[in-house]
Amino acid sequence: MKEVAREMTIKAGQKCTAIRRAIVPRQHLDAVAERLRARLAKTVVGDPSREEVRMGALASRDQQADVAERVATLLQGAELVYGERDGFSPVGDGVAGGAFFAPTLLLSRKPLEHDAAHDVEAFGPVSTLMPYDGIDEALALAARGRGSLVGTLVTRDPAIAAKAIPVAAAWHGRLLVLDREAAAESTGHGSPLPQLKHGGPGRAGGGEELGGLRAVKHYLQRTAVQGSPTMLAAITGEHVRGAAVRESEVHPFRRYFEDLRIGDSLLTHRRTVGEADIVPSAASRATISTCTSTRWRPSRARSASASRTATSCCRPRPACSSRRRRARCSPTTAWTRCASPSPWASATPSRRA
């Protein structure tokens, strides 16, 4: 209720994402209409410089007349729930000459038989309620608008969302799925975020803007360029696989940044990396022990003798090798038994209990 009323009255309804049609389950239609009527009745219209005012005037007298004309057209297939007849009186000095328009709520009880609610947009604080029986009928009513910037699906059932959103997406540029979990952080039906696409198909205009980094491309002229990898690398300033390279005896990492050029490379001979290359490197890392462990408890899975053997055969730095300071050594330094043919053939790192 709150969201519909807010979208009707923000900017006096003069925005493209305002809610023009609210499709409601038939069994809840009258209750929704009554609650929206009560909420709209609390909306204070008038001079926006006054603190209590929540909605101002339309853009011009011409706009005021245009909205009134379109409301009259909508009323041919709908009934008035709330509007000017309900004691509309703008507040503030000089409001008599303003283009104020009362928040207007309509109700179309047979929306499938009347086209006006789907075809006529009153660009002001105007919205139409319409009932539906079943999700398929609701989707059919949504599609009757033939294109919209945004739509909101209010449901707590993931199965309904999974069915409705792919169908509604054909006629909407953005869709908000609102449930109890999302409601607390939702920015609202009519608040497009910069990382989201803003635009819609059909009557929504077919264009789009925003969309994160995609938005930048709307302000660029893009041209496809074809050519060899070398030419493309020269044009774009980025290396392209297959482009020419410049071999040198100096590793590119040893050059100053300003001396680097696209394609600078250092080509080396191919060779196989084996155990002889890996073991010394691993050993040099594993035998550097850090005596930072302040708590050590022997594992129940090992006997005391096995624990002593593993500790005495680890290769920590000398400060950690003494029996007196053994408890301060990190258990991760116990790698293998000294009796193994290869110091890394049967590595058995100890574990914390």
Q: Does a structural domain hold residue 76? A: yes
Backbone angles phi, psi at 177, to 5 degrees: -100, 110
Q: How far apart are CA 292 and CA 253, in angstroms?
A: 35
Question: Within 13 A of 26's CA, how many CA atoms are on the CB side?
Answer: 9
Residue 229 token pair: 């990898």
Which of the two residues, 304 and 20, has the higher pLDDT score?
A: 20
Q: In which domain, by residue range, is 252 found? A: 229-265
Of the chain, the percentage scoring pLDDT greater than 70 comes to: 77
Q: Does a structural domain hold residue 317? A: no
Neighbours of 207 (CB within 10 A): 11
Backbone angles phi, psi at 27, to 5 degrees: -70, -15
* Total number of domains constituting the chain: 2
pLDDT tens digits, residue range 69-109?
999 999 999 999 999 899 889 999 888 889 999 999 999 99
pTM to 2 decimals?
A: 0.61
Q: How far apart are CA 316 and CA 320, in angstroms?
A: 6
Q: How far apart are CA 125 and CA 16, in angstroms?
A: 12
Same domain, 9 and 124: yes
Write the CATH number for 41. 3.40.309.10
Q: Does a structural domain hold residue 87? A: yes
Q: Does a structural domain hold residue 130? A: yes
Q: How far apart are CA 316 and CA 330, in angstroms?
A: 9
Tell me the CA distances in angstroms from 213 to 73, 196, 219, one per residue in order: 42, 10, 11
- Single out the residue in 128, 146, 164 at which a domain terminates: 146
One-letter identity of residue 235: I
Secondary-structure breakdown of the chain: helix, strand, coil percentages, each rounded to the nearest 5: 40, 15, 50
- Single out the residue in 146, 177, 208 at which a domain terminates: 146
- Owner of token pair 């100053």: 256
Q: Does a structural domain hold residue 172? A: no
Same domain, 44 and 137: yes
Q: Does a structural domain hold residue 203? A: no
Q: Does a structural domain hold residue 277? A: no
Q: Does a structural domain hold residue 58? A: yes
pLDDT tens digits, residue range 30-66?
999 999 999 999 999 999 999 999 999 999 999 999 9
Q: How far apart are CA 134 and CA 155, in angstroms?
A: 13
